[in-house]
Structure 1
Amino acid sequence: MKIRFWPALIILIVMAVTVRLGFWQRDRAHQKEQLNARIVAFENAPVQRVGATPIALKDIEFHRVLARGTFMPDRVVYLDNRPYNDQPGFYVVMPLKLDGGGVVLVNRGWLPRNLADRTGIEPYDTPAGEVEVEGIARANASQAFELGHGGSAAELKIRQNLDVAKYAAETGLPLQPFVIQQLNNSGDKLVRDWPAPTMGVDTNYGYMLQWWGMALAALGFGLYAARRAAKKDSTGQPAQETIDGKV
């Protein structure tokens, strides 16, 4: 059976690309599994105290942390479009002025929306004086899909998203480069049933199987086409260019 050059080349290229993409998705899944294992280890590690000394995000993200200070309710930001159990609401993000100096943002929890007034805020309590906040260090308070940046403009109390660095520049506060996702209950009527970090490992494995399935399909199609071409050649049909350039 003669091998036709151009069809064979195309099949080989398709197989090489899809097999490589399958391995890439597999590697991504393994990386996410390793990250998930790190997150579990960090959450079960000793609590780290947050003070005035800046801590790099890469050194603290997903760790359990403890901070002591006073909330700054005049600087609160409400993150819009954060549903909980299919009910619309906000995340309440408030700076905590640390007792040793410095400030850290705290995602205090979820607050249901006032359905009668879209910009109205349901009442909740903010502890007066010094408080202790225990939680998980996160890169941000939660990231929601946003078209443009108008919904997160400076000075708005209700925003779609909140970037820590931009908020520090906006307010002049000496913020730590992370947000504490509060876990301990301070009797403030806020919900702290936080969603677990989503790694999307199953999605990567699904794509891996899809790419490898496409490689097998390309191989099967190539073999089928080669057999059909061989039958045509054997019945006297004009032969096409082969891999050695002969006809």
Structure 2
Amino acid sequence: MHDANRTTAIRKEEDNYRTSFSRMCRAGRTMKIRWLPALLILVVVAVTIRLGFWQRDRAHQKEALQASIERYEHAAPVDVGAQPVPLASIEFHRVRAKGRFLSEQAVFLDNRPYNDQPGFYVVMPFKLTGGGVVLVNRGWLPRNIADRTAIEPFATPAGDVEIVGIARADASRAFELGEGGSAAHQKIRQNLDVAAYAKETGLPLQPFVIQQTSDDGDKLVRDWPAAATGVERNYGYMFQWWAMAAAALGFGLYAARRAAKKSAGA
């Protein structure tokens, strides 16, 4: 009788051991499975936080650029001569140039509305007195409504003149599907690339465009839009990335808490 009770007790201990061991194995497998989503959430949080800081840094860079642009507006103009000037060192600066317009090589950039009226930007090579050439965005010209290919008359100064303007990377860019609308040797184009136009014409162009601000009495409109750096967009992206990081972290904490409650109740 005593031996039978002892045997029963041993078997009961063995059953308890197997049950405990089985639970430990299941808990271990569950723990391994839960580590993967936790790791993924941590990666998402780290990446989105980093992207938020990157957008913040970009915003600070653009704020510094905007401050420089405002400072250049009140500075004395830089004289443009035959010596090529790198775009990076002159963009957004006020510049001054002396020479004459090459009106026969004018290009008209299409789809440049002004006050909801269709029109062109008149871009013309300007032969500098000391040698070399620079492209000048002279201003806005309304389009002929009856014939979109017709160019309305406008005046061009004859002989040598002095112009003042702002150095820009290009004469503004409009949305374009493909490059057919900006093909070489067209008077009316969608966009104009400085380097491509230099190759097309053989002109020794400066690597920038002068956005003319001085008045030549030519009736062209020079109500230029302010240079936009897009700093607000970078701050918007920054907050979006950080909101995603907060959402991912909140979801991870919620999931972990729910899993802990479920394990405790098991």
Verify same fold: TM over 0.5. Answer: yes
Distance in structure 1 (CA, Å) of the matches to 2:256 and 2:104: 74
2:170 paired residue number: 140
Q: Could you tell me which of 219, 228, 237 is aligned with 1:207?
A: 237
Compute the TM-score of the two structures, normalised by the length of structure 2.
0.85
Distance in structure 2 (CA, Å) of the matches to 1:88 and 1:196: 20
Q: Quick check: which has more Rg, 1 or 2?
A: 2
As a proportion of its length, which structure holds more helix?
2
Secondary structure of 2:44's match?
Answer: helix
Distance in structure 2 (CA, Å) of the matches to 1:8 and 1:102: 63
Distance in structure 2 (CA, Å) of the matches to 1:172 and 1:231: 77
The answer to whether 1:234 aligns with 2:255 is no
Equivalenced residues, count: 235
Give the aligned residue type for 2:226: A
Alignment of 1:57-68 (within 5 A): 57-68=87-98
For structure 1, the residue ranges without an aligned partner over 5 or more in a row are: 237-247
Distance in structure 2 (CA, Å) of the matches to 1:39 and 1:196: 10
Alignment of 1:46-195 (within 5 A): 46-195=76-225
Alignment of 1:37-52 (within 5 A): 37-52=67-82
Distance in structure 1 (CA, Å) of the matches to 2:249 and 2:86: 49
Give the aligned residue type for 2:180: G
The answer to whether 1:22 aligns with 2:59 is no
Quote the RMSD (CA, aligned, Å).
Answer: 1.3
1:95-128 deviation digits (Å, cap 9, x = unpaired): 1111222111110000111111011111111111
After the TM superposition, list the runs of 4 or more consecutive aligned residues in structure 1 that deviate by more than 6 angstroms. Answer: none
Secondary structure of 1:66's match?
Answer: strand
Choose 44-53 or 60-69, whichever is displaced more: 44-53
Give the aligned residue type for 1:230: A
Compute the TM-score of the two structures, normalised by the length of structure 1.
0.92
Distance in structure 2 (CA, Å) of the matches to 1:213 and 1:85: 38
Distance in structure 1 (CA, Å) of the matches to 2:249 and 2:205: 56
Q: RCO higher in 1 or 2 (8 Å CA, sep ≥ 6)?
A: 1
